[in-house]
Amino acid sequence: MFRAIGYSIKQAFKQLVRNKNMCTASIFSITSMLLILGLFFILIVNISLLAQTTQSQFDSIQVYIKDEVSEEGIYEMRNKFERLSGVKEATIINKEQALKIMKSRWGDNGYLLEGLEDNPLPNSIVIKVENLEDADAVVTRIRASEGIEDIKYYKSIVEKLLNITSFIQLAGMIIIIILVIISIVIVANTVKLTVTAREREISIMKYIGATNWFIRGPFFVEGIIIGLIGSGVSVAIMSFIYKKIVGAFTQQAFVMFSISMVPHGFLISNLVWIFISLGVGIGSLGSILSMRKFLDT
Amino acid sequence: MIRFENVTKYYGSNRALSNINLNINKGDFVFLVGPSGAGKSTFIKLLLKETDATEGRIFLGDMEVTGLPNRKIPKLRRNIGIVFQDFRLLPKKTVYENVAFAMDILHIPAKTIRRVVPQALSLVGISSKAHKYPNELSAGEQQRVAIARSIINNPSVLIADEPTGNLDPDTAWEIMRLLTQINLRGTTIVMVTHAKEIVDKMEKRVIAIEEGRIVRDDMRGAYKYHV
């Protein structure tokens, strides 16, 4: 048994070296498929994260308080709001906190805010509702209170955003599934080319009395190795590209975006396992599928 | 050693072999002759279980070939050495590897392989070319490699399908001497051939097939099949 496995591995490497061109072609097709897959994966993951953060940022009612209202007054208002039905929590964000949040959101560009003499931001109370549907009723009741400068809430925006992101997620999943199927077909065909090129070899092996698994073994291992190399290459390229993208977003004016991008290390360490299992799966499945015809008799 | 009992084979509605009864003993050297399309290839295919008989039973030693489950086919073929007209060597393996490969299949320890393969190569007289690739050899040398491969696992039967078909007369006789030598060691040999001269000179058993029937079976026969 072990000798058989050892034999397969040894032969697989010999075959790889002796059929360099075919193997390069297979590796290339797996790599390019995984790259396209990876781009969609990154897109979907980031859009999901963006949707989540946006939702948590905007899924609240922001009540701006007039400057003349005293600190005690603000506390009273908060307690009153919190007791309203449908309200989950109400938090006070005073001028200084508001400025701090803004600075942190602007990230590296936060120094732009240093030049301000007066803090122009108002005190505010952020109200989270239990359900988005309750927001309208809550806003109507808050509006009746004294000392309120403005009320901002983004129900329609959040709803639209959720619709768009769930659509993109669905479309992305469908595209990924289609791509996986296409890549299995492509790899199966590439492997079939290598098998066809060795059809004679296989028929000779059968004449000498080789069992199907003995013939299949080296091709199977070869498929796994090709899958491993393909996924390794594509992870490396993906990692490089994603680092560049994150870097570009952080350095450029898209300050808001950079915060909600999935960290490079986290994404790549997940991608490694996905790619390796996909690559190995596609490679081994492709080799077994494409050999079926030749092992029938 | 090889026994056919009332074997008939149809391909669709074409009858390739018709009620063949045949017994080849251990250690025999048999020529199978006949015009193209007479059923010689079908005979070999049935013996290797490449195709199944429509009727009748086939035995190799005490193994019944007909009715052998597919997974046991490799085991059957390991008992039969085969040599083809076109040699069928693996082009990307060296002479040594081509022969060793037949032992790899049986998972024979590397140590044994290293000991036995050179012996086989020297038996067929090709030791000096052990590390060449098939396309670097002459036709006769390639056939020698194929013969070394076919006998490396000591099969009880060696089937030679027009082994001299691609060789010039002198080389053909060298191959025949080699086959005779192998036969003398006790291996049963069935040789399909069109080489009249060889059959006539060897004076071995000749089985002539025409249109799917055995038309002649002479113990010390000649090639002629229209008597």
| Residues of chain B contacting A216 with CB distance shorter than 8 Å | none
C-beta atoms of A4 and B101 within 8 A: no
Q: What does the pLDDT look like over B15-38, one tens digit per residue?
A: 999 999 999 999 999 999 998 888
Rounded CA separation B220/B215 (Å): 15
> In the predicted model, what is the mean pLDDT of residues B190-218?
92
Angle at B50 between CA B49 and CA B54, to 5 degrees: 70
What is the arithmetic mean of pLDDT over B85-92? 89
A13 touches B: beta carbon within 8 Å: no
Do B32 and B216 contact (CB within 8 A), yes or no? no
Average pLDDT over residues B89-118: 90
What is the spatial distance between Cα A2 and Cα A155, in angstroms, rounded to a whole number? 64
Contact A7 B107 (CB under 8 A): yes
Place of tokens 């070394």: B148
CA distance B214 to B188: 20
For residue B80, is pLDDT > 50? Answer: yes
- The one-letter amino acid at A264: H
Distance CA A54, CA A214 (A): 56
pLDDT, position B58: 95
The strand pair at B213-218 and B205-210 is best described as antiparallel
- Give the pLDDT confidence score for residue A166 in this predicted structure: 82
Q: What is the predicted pLDDT for the residue at A57?
A: 66
Residues of B whose CB is below 8 A from A206: 74, 77
Chain B residues with a Cβ under 8 Å from any Cβ in chain A: 48, 50, 71, 74-78, 82, 88-92, 101-102, 104-107, 109, 149
In the three-class reduction of DSSP (H, G, I as helix; E, B as strand; rest coil), residue A297 is classed as coil
Write down the mean pLDDT value for chain B: 91
Distance CA A288, CA A192 (A): 9
Chain A environment of B48 (Cβ under 8 Å):
207
Confidence label for B164 from pLDDT (cuts 50, 70 and 90):
very high
Low-confidence ranges of chain A (pLDDT < 70): 1-3, 55-58, 107-110, 117, 132, 187, 190-191, 194, 250-260, 296-297
Token readout for A288 is: 């077994």
Q: What number is the average pLDDT over the span B166-183?
A: 93
Nearest to B178 by CA among B135, B114, B187: B187
Q: What is the pLDDT of residue B227?
A: 45
Domains and CATH numbers, chain A: 2-55+158-291 (no CATH), 67-146 (3.30.70.3040)
* A204 shares contact with chain B (CB less than 8 Å): yes
Q: Are B88 and A210 a contacting pair at CB < 8 A?
A: no
User: What is the reported pLDDT for A267?
Assistant: 82
Q: Does A9 touch chain B (CB under 8 A)?
A: no
pLDDT band at B82 (very low <50, low <70, confident <90, very high): very high
Q: What is the DSSP string of A57-85?
A: HHSEEEEEEPTTS-HHHHHHHHHHHHHST
- Quick one: pLDDT at residue A259? 55
Q: Using an 8 Å CB-CB cutoff, list chain A residues near B146.
A: none
Average pLDDT over every residue of B190-194: 93
Cα distances from B46 to residues A25, A173, B68, B160, in angstroms, run 40, 53, 12, 15
Q: What is the value of pTM for the model shown?
A: 0.65
The pLDDT value recorded for residue A58 is 67
CB A90 within 8 A of CB A127: yes
Q: Look up the ipTM and state it.
A: 0.80
